[in-house]
Amino acid sequence: MTATITRRDFLKYCGLSATALALTSEKLGFLQTVLANPSAPSVIWLHGSSCTGCSVSLLNRIADSLGPAPTIKEVLTDAINLVYHATLMTPAGDSATAELRRVYESGNYVLVLEGGVPTAYGGGPCIVYSLHGEEVTYQQAVQEMSARALAIVCVGTCASFGGIPASGSNPTGVVGVGQLTGRTTINVSGCPANPDWVVWAIVQLLTGTPVDLDEDNRPTALYRETIHGATKEYVHDKCPRNVYVNAAAPGEATDFSDCDGKCLIQLGCRGPLTRARCNGCWNILAGDSNPSPTDRWQNNWCIGVNAPCHGCVDKTFPGTASFYELYIPPS
């Protein structure tokens, strides 16, 4: 049996995650008003070349926050009017596509895209849906639906920049959504994307809040952090294994068999070159608005489980270098 997730439950999730989402009580109240409005924008969520890991990440986060067995479908469909998500929706075939086309014709929707866009072979490597027997490629759908969307949110590095599907020889010609459309997108990059960041982006759009973007169209609120008046851009700037952040840090590790608490730069960590706020808000327990340094630093992010940062939020990810050797960025 699955739980029923209502708009009230979604607001509860946002309230419990208010610190990570940077939501004020005023904005939560406004969000409640927006969600009660039947003419509020719908959400169309399409998948391209991806592993669906960003949807799974969001599902796991919401399940932890709201109790037993809610699904991302229940949260988004019942709370913010998700009208299309091929993996999660109940309708199928022409009935599902007809609803998608109806919302598209209205123009009152936020377009969420997960996965890179294959452009080789006329976009044929990725068919996103069919209508009356005619197949529509992800490339066609992105180009068409982005033109009318109120806003475009790219969830994950694949949609934002191409990511893993665009790496290597890239035989299917995968590109990021912005590269294909030339339109401004809100890029919530990560492999997978941080689930709180995904919800944050959707909430900003629903409440009409302007989103300041960096040079890669990523929200600066999510990928840079100001501490005591100083901007801390890089993961390394906030890492407790950095001796300049934590004087008690035991130095650099040279082997994974002896790396507890040690800086992982010699083992491939890209933290010194990666701009993101991964240290502070990866699946912190719901309601814990002031997590201890142990909770923040030793759990819930790659470094906390003795894994080096792979720079998965960056447009150069994954690159060609080993993840587990000293990283020398390409010149």
CATH of the domain at 74: 3.40.50.700
Number of other CB atoms surrounding residue 320 within 10 Å: 8
Do 213 and 228 share a structural domain? Answer: no
Do 161 and 131 share a structural domain? Answer: yes
**220, 250, 283 - which closes a domain:** 220
Task: Please state the separation of Cα 321 from the chain's center in Å.
Answer: 24
Q: Is residue 330 part of a domain?
A: no
Residue among 147, 138, 141, 143 nearest 101 (CA): 141
- pLDDT at residue 209 tops 60: yes
Q: Is residue 91 part of a domain?
A: yes
Q: Is residue 36 part of a domain?
A: yes
Average pLDDT over residues 201-222: 87
Q: Is residue 243 part of a domain?
A: yes
Better-predicted residue by pLDDT, 3 or 223: 223
Quote the pTM value.
0.82
H helix runs in 126-272, sequence order: 138-148, 157-161, 177-181, 195-206, 220-223
| DSSP label at residue 41 | P
- pLDDT at residue 29 tops 80: no
Q: How many domains does the chain have?
A: 2
- pLDDT at residue 243 tops 80: yes
Average pLDDT over residues 277-293: 54
Do 120 and 39 share a structural domain? Answer: yes
Q: Is residue 263 part of a domain?
A: yes
Instruction: Tell me the sheet residues that pair with 47.
Output: 114
Q: Is residue 311 part of a domain?
A: no
Do 204 and 230 share a structural domain? Answer: no
Do 52 and 164 share a structural domain? Answer: yes
Residue among 176, 125, 207, 144 nearest 316 (CA): 176
Q: Are 4 and 78 contacting, i.e. CB atoms less than 8 angstroms apart? A: yes
Q: How far apart are the first and last CA of the chain?
A: 54
Do 199 and 74 share a structural domain? Answer: yes
**186, 220, 254 - which closes a domain:** 220
Range of the domain at 13: 7-220
Do 157 and 140 share a structural domain? Answer: yes
Do 201 and 291 share a structural domain? Answer: no
Q: Is residue 162 part of a domain?
A: yes
Between CA 252 and CA 244 the distance in angstroms is: 13
CA atoms within 13 A on the CB side of 254: 0
Do 276 and 177 share a structural domain? Answer: no
Q: How confident is the model over 44-101, as pLDDT tens digits?
A: 999 999 999 998 887 776 555 444 434 444 445 555 677 888 877 777 788 889 989 9
Helix (H) or strand (E) holding 130: strand 127-131
Do 188 and 81 share a structural domain? Answer: yes
Do 281 and 199 share a structural domain? Answer: no
Q: Would you place residue 302 in the very low, low, confident or very high pLDDT band (cuts 50, 70, 90)?
A: confident
Q: Is residue 328 part of a domain?
A: no
**Tokens 């399940």 identify what position?**
63
Residue among 143, 139, 133, 131 nearest 101 (CA): 131
- pLDDT at residue 178 tops 60: yes
**220, 240, 262 - which closes a domain:** 220
Better-predicted residue by pLDDT, 161 or 26: 161
Mean pLDDT, rounded, of the chain = 80
Do 49 and 114 share a structural domain? Answer: yes
Distances (CA, A) of 202 to 94, 153, 208: 27, 8, 10
